[in-house]
Amino acid sequence: MTRKGLLVWSSSLLAVLAVTGCSVDPYCFTCPQGGSGDGGRETGTGGGDAGEAGRPDTGMVDPDACVINGAEVCNGMDDDCNGMVDDGNPGGGGTCGVERGECRPGTLACMDGELVCTGANVAMPEACNGRDDDCDGETDEGNPEGGGPCGTDEGECRRGTARCDPTTGAIVCEGGQDPVAEVCNARDDDCDGCPDGTRAAGGGGCVQIDLGMSCGMDVGACAPGRIVCRAGAEVCEGATMPRAEACNGEDDDCDGMPDDGFDLTTDPRNCGRCGNACEFDNAVPICADGECSIRFCRSGFHDLNGDPLDGCEYACEFRGAEACNGRDDDCDGMTDEGLVPPTTLCNATGACAGTTPTCRGALGYGCMYGPTVSQDADGRIVPETTCDNIDNDCNGRVDDNPAFITVGMACGNGIGGCRSMGMQVCTADGMGTVCNAPPAGAPGTETCNGIDDDCDGVADETRAAPGMNPSFVTEDVVAFDVNTGGGTTLRYMYRYEASRPDATASAQGASSARSCSRAGVQPWVNVTYIQARDACASAGMRLCTELEWLYACRGPAGDGGADDNLYCEWAVSDANECNYTGTSDAPPPVGRCNTNELDWCPSSAEPRCATLCDDVAFRRPGETVDQCRTRLNTVDQDGALPTGSLPMCIQRWDTGGGAQSIFDLTGNVREWAQARSAGVNPIRGGSYENVYFGATCNLDFSLANDTFQYNNLGFRCCSDSPP
């Protein structure tokens, strides 16, 4: 077989030829052969054979000989000995490659003795480009081109880690800090290695950043500069700034007006012209119409002759209007002239009243007081020594000797509510004082009013600490049942919203000593949870729990019928009261409780409105009673009413006439209940600012922290046993 011009012999073929003993040209397969072994035309003698084409038999193989090896195949040889290698594209023409990802099929072609797939997109190493480069059905898998560091650690930047984002087919730098636009803040924000306020220059190094703003002004003597960044701050450099204006013909302060502020017609330092100063002896000059004159003399000097050439020539210490003292007080060149004796020189108080002053020349005026004035040998008033109801020392205080200092002071006998009041008066001999108060009164029963009613030195004491007198405040509470599983579990709640001890119908008072349960007074509002809790504790009670508040508001169980155990939606009692008819809900409290729908005074004939305006503290400044009543009838009077003002706004815990009724659980003011947890404090009941559906017994979503307070938020107290 022949490959690339070389002849390769088959060993088996040579063996056959040797056995047969044929006389052949061992190097020619196409030469004619006969029985005598002549393979060609005889051209010589001695039986020698002539070579192919008459060539002599040299014993060498023809290097151009070809051996047919069958059909042409793609191997770089002329298999069919037609003089052409791999002709006809042997083995080619078929489809090759795959169609997946970025790969596309091609066509097989015989090239250089080998079958090659041409025109195909073949698999490549995966790159981060949003494509399936390796044609394995996945895009950008394995974080191609990622994992290495990215970014820079220069300036404010920090390196991150490169990651191929398969959703975008792009490398993203994660966990680092990228450069941002440079600002003047003493930091290298754009991470170019140049200090704040500079940037990298094209040829290396750093150059100052021009912030693009001029500064200063181009007016008068001023010249503008440029704003540059220095040490993290924008500063103005190269500018000529305004300076104090001088009288020099220039605009020194750069306001467009040369020598402004220098009025040559009135400026005593530049009177008539710049630099012309007005000066006079012992005087302060003035410039008027460009001419100098004396404005006023300096202290201790006066211009009596009116001649400006000698300035203020008269030396005199001015003391004011002329007085009786032997001196020229008004510095007019005359002494003690034209005096009118003063009417107030002498003490006109107390026993000194009516004394007329007398002028004594250089000694001044003297006052000759009467015999009831306390004086020493020189006529000077001295402290009084007699308690006689006279102001002997004329100081406006009667009997003010330390021994009689208490004269006129309030005094009393007894303590607390028993105390009778009087005042200290002089004794009959004028040597001491005594209290003229009547004897002390008898102790009474202690009530919660800020007064020591039982006269034991303690006001409003509780059962637990009644003081020396065993009388104590009997808390006005209502017993109610919190047991719904049979039996009775009583708790005790303030009948009324808590008030301060000194509260009145028009003011909530100021005392925070303890809380009270009283009718007809303003409830204690604008109170924090802590203040409410402590006020109950000072009364020997505590804030009500949410469960106690809910049970008290909803009322007792039903009447035993089919609808038993149904409770009130609001704490309202009237002819349709829910607890005693078996209905599940009381009528809405509109007009019955102080919710937003109720006005205090729908008519001036209302009894509770007829007297409100009689209280001056209730009226506005300067408002008459009639004006006050008109105002109440024409405006929305939402606000807190005195406790227990609305007789139907109750929850009854008896079946009688309401002796065990709790007032204002619905509306008027909202009420603190015991904390659910630290700082999580519930608020119940609604107020005069809530519509009635926001004041139901069950409404429990209002919460506040320990310091919250509002002018519609109060509280009431509870206890486990009768307080």
Task: Inform me whether the pLDDT recorded for 68 exceeds 60.
Answer: yes
Rounded CA separation 514/474 (Å): 14
Classified as helix, coil or strand, 652 is: strand
Q: Quote the DSSP letter at residue 542.
A: E
- For residue 434, give the H/E element and its range: strand 433-435
Q: Distance between CA atoms of 589 and 644, rounded to whole angstroms? A: 15
Over 70: is that where the pLDDT of 667 sits? yes
| C-alpha closest to that of 532 among 699, 701, 273, 709 | 709
- Higher-pLDDT residue of 56, 104: 104
Cβ neighbour number for residue 28 with a 10 Å cutoff: 18
Per-residue pLDDT tens for 244-253?
Answer: 888 887 888 8
Mean pLDDT of 261-274: 86
339-375 pLDDT tens trace: 888 888 888 899 999 888 887 888 888 888 888 898 8
Mean pLDDT of 425-437: 88
Over residues 427-444, mean pLDDT: 86
Give percent of the chain above pLDDT 70: 82
Identity of residue 119: G
Q: What is the pLDDT of residues 187-244, one digit of tens each?
A: 878 887 787 777 777 777 787 777 778 887 888 888 888 888 888 788 888 888 898 8
pLDDT computed for residue 607 by the predictor = 59
Looking at residue 53, its pLDDT comes to: 39
133 in Cβ contact with 102 (< 8 Å): yes
CB 700 within 8 A of CB 551: no
Q: pLDDT at residue 11 above 70?
A: no
Phi/psi at 552 (5° precision)? -65, -40
Residue 403, CA atoms < 13 Å, CB-side half-sphere: 11
Does the structure show a pLDDT above 80 at 483? no
Whether the predicted pLDDT of 51 surpasses 80? no
Q: Which strands sit side by side in the sheet containing 149-150, from one edge to the other?
A: 149-150, 160-165, 170-174
**Residue 404 region by backbone torsions, left for phi larger than 0, else alpha for psi between -120 and 50, else beta:** alpha
Q: Tell me: the pLDDT tens digits for 546-601? A: 999 999 998 875 443 333 445 678 887 754 455 433 344 445 666 778 888 776 56
Q: Which is higher by pLDDT, 49 or 284?
A: 284
Residue type at 400?
Answer: D
In 3D space, the residue among 525, 472, 463 whose CA is nearest the CA of residue 497 turns out to be 525
β-pair partners for 215: 225
Euclidean distance between CA atoms 171 and 681, whole angstroms? 54
Q: Which two tokens stand for residue 120?
A: 């195909």
Q: Would you give the end-to-end CA distance of the chain in angstroms?
A: 129
Cβ neighbors of 592 (< 8 A, separation 6 or more) are: 572, 574, 646, 648, 649
pLDDT at 147 over 60: yes
Mean pLDDT of 284-311: 89
Q: Which residue has the tokens 């209280």?
A: 615
User: Is this model's pTM higher than 0.95 or not?
Assistant: no
Among residues 269, 289, 266, the alpha carbon closest in space to that of 279 is found at 269
Q: Which residue has the higher pLDDT, 62 or 128?
A: 128
3-class state of residue 675 by DSSP: coil
Segment 142-163 mean pLDDT:
86
Mean pLDDT of the region 37-66: 46
Could you tell me which of 408, 403, 402, 435 has the C-alpha nearest to residue 419? 435
**pLDDT for 449 beyond 60:** yes
d(CA 294, CA 287): 9
CA distance 562 to 568: 16
pLDDT at site 516:
95
Q: Of 706 and 9, which is predicted with more confidence?
A: 706
Q: Per-residue confidence at 40, pLDDT binned at 50, 70, 90?
A: very low
Nearest to 684 by CA among 715, 662, 660, 663: 715
Contact 718, 544 (CB under 8 A): yes
> CB of 152 within 8 A of CB of 134?
no
Confidence grade of residue 142 (pLDDT, cut at 50, 70, 90): confident
Q: What's the pLDDT score for residue 530? A: 97
| Nearest Cα to Cα of residue 4 among 72, 79, 106 | 79
Return the amino acid letter for 591.
G
User: pLDDT, tens digit, for every residue of 115-129?
Assistant: 888 877 888 898 898
* pLDDT reported for residue 31: 41
d(CA 176, CA 193): 17
pLDDT of residue 107 exceeding 60, the answer is yes
Q: What is the pLDDT of residue 28?
A: 40
Residue type, 76: G
Burial (CB count <10 Å: 0-12, 13-18, 19+), residue 276: middle
For residue 5, name the pLDDT band (cuts at 50, 70, 90).
Answer: very low
Contact 186, 220 (CB under 8 A): no
**Element housing 227 (H / E):** strand 225-230
Most confident of the ranges 183-192, 286-295, 413-422, 654-663: 286-295
Confidence of residue 2 (pLDDT cuts 50, 70, 90): very low
Question: Residue 354's CB: how many other CB atoms inside 10 A?
Answer: 9
User: Per residue in 501-531, pLDDT tens?
Assistant: 999 999 999 999 999 999 999 999 999 999 9
Question: What gap in Å lies between CA 220 and CA 239, rounded to an integer?
Answer: 13
pLDDT higher for 546 or 468? 546
DSSP 30-93: SS---TT---S---SSTTPPBPGGG-B--S---TT-----SS--SSSS-TT-SS-TTTT-TT-S
pLDDT of residue 415: 82
β-pairing verdict for 2-3 and 6-7 = antiparallel
Confidence category of residue 183, pLDDT binned at 50, 70, 90? confident
Mean pLDDT of 392-403: 86
